[in-house]
Structure 1
Amino acid sequence: MSNIEIRDVGEQDFERIVELNLAEVAHTSTMSIMDLARLDAISAYHRVIMVGDIIAGFLLAMGPKSRYINENYAWFKVHYPSYMYIDRIVLDAEYQGKQLGQLLYRDLFSWAQEQNVNHVVCEYNVIPPNLPSAKFHQRLGFNEVGFQWLPLSKNCTAILTADEEINVKTHKKVSMQCCDLSHR
């Protein structure tokens, strides 16, 4: 595949990014154009990967001092003094499996190191399982550094810690992942 470019997101990209996100909402969370504008404003890194003139995907990450309110981001804030938190990466189904996600991550890794940030963190579901994400992150050097149980819906607010209290119909188990860039 040729003619690939990674560039910063502009407001003109928002509609396409929301469309891409909607196609993968089972693995991300819903996001309107207004939500995206808010996330973009507080993000540290927000870039798209272009194939020719088509936006094939995007990656959105928050820095350690972001005003982001999210259970997973808050977990990392307790455990790491400095990190880049990957809020979401989405690729158009047509471009999945073509190493574009890996290119976006490598770009983020380089950018994070330029900012003197050595930890890139993210999470993915282990219950229900997201095996493609698990394999992808393992290949890129991510390791599990913890987990938490989170509610599946906004109606259920309890974050659980004891396995015996878990109801998989109301909660999901999230693997907290870290890639230490200081060893690269």
Structure 2
Amino acid sequence: MSDIYVRDATEHDFERVVELNLAEVAHTSAMNQDDVAKLHSLSAYHRVLVVEGTVAGFLLVMGPNSHYINENYAWFKNHLANYMYIDRIVLDARYQGRQLGTVLYQDLFTWSKAQGVNHVVCEYNLVPPNPPSAKFHQRLGFKELGYQWLLLNKSPSVAVFDHAGVSARTHKKVSMQCCDLTHT
């Protein structure tokens, strides 16, 4: 893989973004082309990773003044003043494990610093667990700021409760992560 680069996403990429996202919908939320267009219009940063002429992944990020409505974005808005919020990163399964996610994040880090923003934030699932995401983000210097439970859109067949009485069948627990770019 010698021909690898990151470029701004365009409307011509939206169909591929939907396709990539659908393959990873267990770790992100579903979206169609209209959803991508809306998120793109709200984003501060939306770039694709191209490998040998094929869009192999994308990274979609909201800035601190976005009109994005999302529970996780709102959590960070209540805890930080100036940040870039990673809404989603998705890589084609054929390219996972090759440090290409790091290529996208390093591009974001460089871009964020140029915008005068020193915090990049995201979340990943603790319940149900997402160990690859946890490992990836820890390797890049992300630290947990807190966590929150979010309601799932599923009806439970069997409820499992944690010590606080929150059902793991009706809720997911997300770790709220921050990378301080002044230390990278």
**Is TM > 0.5 for Structure 1 vs Structure 2?**
yes
What runs of 5+ residues in structure 1 fail to find an aligned partner? Answer: 157-161
Determine the structure 2 residue equivalent to 1:140. 140
RMSD: 1.4
Shift of 1:165: 2.2
CA distance in 2, matches of 1:42, 1:155: 31
Shift of 1:183: 1.7
Shift of 1:152: 1.1
Pair 163,76 (structure 1): closer, same or farther in 2 beyond 3 Å: farther
Q: Percent identity over the alignment? A: 67
The aligned runs of 1:8-157 (5 Å cut-off) are 8-153=8-153
CA distance in 2, matches of 1:183, 1:88: 23
CA distance in 2, matches of 1:86, 1:143: 14
CA distance in 1, matches of 2:164, 2:24: 31
Pair 175,18 (structure 1): closer, same or farther in 2 beyond 3 Å: same
CA distance in 2, matches of 1:94, 1:81: 37
Shift of 1:163: 4.4
Q: How many residues align?
A: 179
Determine the structure 1 residue equivalent to 2:159. none
CA distance in 1, matches of 2:172, 2:165: 12
Shift of 1:123: 0.1
CA distance in 2, matches of 1:25, 1:178: 23
Structure 2 residue matching 1:79: 3-state secondary structure: coil
TM-score, with structure 2 as normaliser: 0.95
Aligned partner letter, 1:168: A
Structure 1 residue matching 2:149: 3-state secondary structure: strand
